[in-house]
Structure 1
Amino acid sequence: MRRTPRTRRDRRAVARPQVVAHRGSSHEKAEHTLAAYVKALDEGADALECDVRLTADGHLVCVHDRDLRRTAATPGLVSTMNLAELDELDFASWKNPWADLDDDSPERDPDAGKVLTLRKLLEMVADYDRHVELAVETKHPTRYGGLVERRLVEVLGDFGWDRDGSPARVMSFSLNAVNRVRRLAPDLDVVMLVDKAHHWPVLRPVVGDDWIIGPGIKELRDHPGLGRHLLKEGREIHVWTVNTADELDVCLDLGVTAVITDRPAYMLELLGSAD
């Protein structure tokens, strides 16, 4: 019998899909920075998405890539650096490298562009003046293996968010990672991310009946049979990364329950006009 936790019933009760800010409002601000998440909340995002990696001294930080070339202009690896070392880096300037030469550019708060720990993000959500959900993706492969999920569940537990009714859900492209989360926190919602449509027939027999499925929008658009199969099986669907009106239409036609987007304000505007 398929388990239907309270958090999922609540999501399905709403008329429109949940708008999840992908790495924050990452179209407007540098991804995974405090500024990006504050912007997403100001824009009205229903939920925040983040990727987490483990530092050498055991902290979970919100960083997508294993190395820091793209977002912090250094060849260092997140897994080999301590939090104090990461805290010295600038994770925001890459988004607008000419800002210092633009007299009309607003003054930037250096602290808003520092590396963001998962704990700090959770604290912000816990203190916010309205209900906000979290979608946390663990990145694999990693030298720390299952320690990432163990640390994640521990941190969520510090907030009482490792059980049924939690505002947080855990996502991964790794089947082992999702299974690990379910062993550590059996009542926590999990999302099996699907990178390629042809992976689903292989995953289908081994994923839990109550797991949420997270396909990419490109696969849903290019392989419409994937969406039809998920619907037929009664799966809850969360789609990444939805940034255009046409992509949103694909999601609305399927009745998905969450869209993960770099542009939360735009998605909310489109959904408002569709009411």
Structure 2
Amino acid sequence: MRTVTVVGHRGDPYRVRENTTASIRSALARGADAVEVDVRLTWDGVPVLLHDETLRRLWRIDRPLAALSLAEVRRLTGPEGVPTLYEALAAAAPHRVMIDLPGATEETVRAVVGTVRECDAEDRVFYCSGAAAMLLVRAADPAAEIALTWTSLAPARPVLLEAVAPRWLNYRFGLVGRELADRVHRDGLLVSAWTADTRRTMRKLIDNGVDSITTNRVDTLNSVLTGAPT
């Protein structure tokens, strides 16, 4: 029977603050196969989990991450605050982690790939983002598993696919129909969709043949997949 990978979007953000170790653990406890996290660098070059450029939305501190050292981030967000990528990989073990790289630079990618290697986590990490970031990942790690985020119904150019060598194409859920999924599969790639939170959307994606769904509602997606009532 075909299976669909359940990915917790930034962990379990409807219950626990996103991109924290507590959120990661909550998503996995509710049946996620993997968690998606966002990684940026502190001023002193440490990869930490944060989607935004600043601490304002999540932590109500209007300071840019890139201007803060890890020690300052610790002081501002507390011991259960913004975790390092090292801590996040440990919290998720032995499950898979999908690393998104908003605003990635070559420095970011080198630091992230280096941390993944240091944690001996290459076999359970895969990376997602747009073409520019994924080209940097491919250069830093020729063996990396990549989910190339694609925001158009138009096919990716063959020269780009050859350079990035993704295993997945990662689409906003509204773009994914049966025709698109079939085309991607014919090209030998897997289809990932984000971020689906309603049962109707989840069922539609499953019916259209996706291989992975990223969601803020892990328990709901699992209930759809198993046919269990909510």
- TM-score, structure 2 length as denominator? 0.89
Contact 1:231/1:254 (CA < 8 Å) preserved in 2? Answer: no
Percent identity, aligned pairs only, is 25
Q: 1:184 to 1:58 in 2, by over 3 A?
A: same
Q: Is the 8 A contact 2:147 2:166 kept in 1?
A: no
Question: Retained in 1: the 8 A contact 2:176–2:208?
Answer: no
Aligned to 1:115: 82
Match of 2:217 in 1: 263
Q: 1:124 aligns with which of 75, 85, 91?
A: 91
Q: What does residue 215 of structure 1 align with?
A: 171
Q: Structure 1 counterpart of 2:65, which letter?
A: V
Q: Which amino acid aligns with 1:122?
A: L
Match of 1:197 in 2: 152
Aligned residues: 226
C-alpha displacement of 1:270: 1.3
In the alignment, the residues of structure 2 paired with residue 263 and residue 149 of structure 1 have an alpha-carbon distance, to the nearest angstrom, of 29
**Distance 1:211-1:183 versus aligned 2 partners, 3 A rule:** same
Query: 1:261–1:204: structure 2 CA closer, same or farther, 3 Å change rule?
Result: farther
Distance 1:21 1:51 in 2: 12
Per-residue CA deviation, residues 31-59 of structure 1 (Å, 9 max, x unaligned), is: 11222112112112110110000000111
Give the deviation of 1:71 after TM superposition: 0.9
Deviation of 1:248 after TM superposition, in Å, equals 1.1
Report which stretch shifted further, 226-235 or 242-251. 226-235
How far apart, CA to CA, are the structure 1 residues paired with 2:147 and 2:157?
Answer: 12
**Residue identity opposite 1:184 in structure 2:** A
Displacement of 1:204 in angstroms is 4.8
Q: Taking structure 1 as the reference length, what is the TM-score of the superposition?
A: 0.76
The reply on whether 1:234 has 2:188 as its aligned counterpart is yes
Q: Of residues 135, 148, 164 in structure 1, which corresponds to 2:98?
A: 135
One-letter code aligned to 2:224: L
Alpha-carbon deviation of 1:225? 5.0
Cα distance in 2 for residues equivalent to 1:218 and 1:255: 14
State the match for 2:9 in structure 1.
22
- 1:262 and 1:204 map into 2 onto residues whose CA distance is 32
State which drifts further: 229-238 or 257-266.
229-238
Distance 1:204 1:220 in 2: 20
Q: Which amino acid aligns with 1:40?
A: A
- Show structure 2 runs of 5+ residues with no match: none
